[in-house]
Amino acid sequence: MGKMTRNREAMLGTQRAYHAMVSHVDDCVGRVVQHLKATGLWENTVVIFSSDHGELLGDHGLLWKGPMLLDSLMHVPLIMAGGGIQGGRVDGLTSMVDLAPTLAEMAGGVRGDWENSGSPLLNQDLQVVAKALREEVYAEWDEAGEGPTSCLRMLRTATQKVVCHPQRPEALECYDLVKDPQECWNLAASPEHRPEFEALIQRLAGHWHRPRMETSCRPGW
């Protein structure tokens, strides 16, 4: 894989193919939207477009996806339209846990267990909540076994990011996203910079043992 990602022509071909696929999906979604409008269903239908992960596409010398909590994989689209939604964009950090309370708000303010973790991205008038909803976002990865990627935890703010490996404390990752938005320089081992991340590391530690929802599906790609 590393050999291919260092080959400029090979990577350009892969990236072009990926962008072509995105264009094709965009066209297909557009056809669905046009049909809804043509049949008079648009105002009573909400179309939500998102994804379960991003794509590396050569970042960090890697392709596809994998058990890593890099922004290349964590940053996903979330587009909502139709059903009387007013146009706008949410600035700041959001999380997929915000989707359930958003749908509940659109359904008339239905309440549920998600209230403790997510926040609606729209108000009751279906207007976008433009202010930042959260100061940080959390992500996790678990897989069977006790390998080097069996357990990962991430906490990210607008300016910092830490990734902890509970079973491998020495693999801690700390990134200054202002000076290093591509996450190329891990500052965890730097005596000069490590103290800047201690508060975020301690907050992340509090997420490790949160109660989990019962599910019949084993997490993992």
Domains belonging to the chain, first-starting first, are: 2-84 (no CATH), 137-205 (3.30.1120)
Burial class (CB in 10 A: 0-12, 13-18, 19+), 174: buried
Torsion of CA 141, 120, 106, 53, to 10 degrees: -30
* Total-model pTM: 0.82
Instruction: Tell me the pLDDT of the chain (221 aa) as tens digits.
Output: 556 677 888 888 889 999 999 999 999 999 999 999 999 999 889 899 999 899 888 788 888 887 889 999 999 999 989 888 887 888 788 888 888 888 888 877 666 665 567 888 887 778 887 666 688 999 988 877 777 777 889 999 999 999 998 888 888 999 999 999 999 999 999 999 989 999 999 998 877 655 555 666 655 54
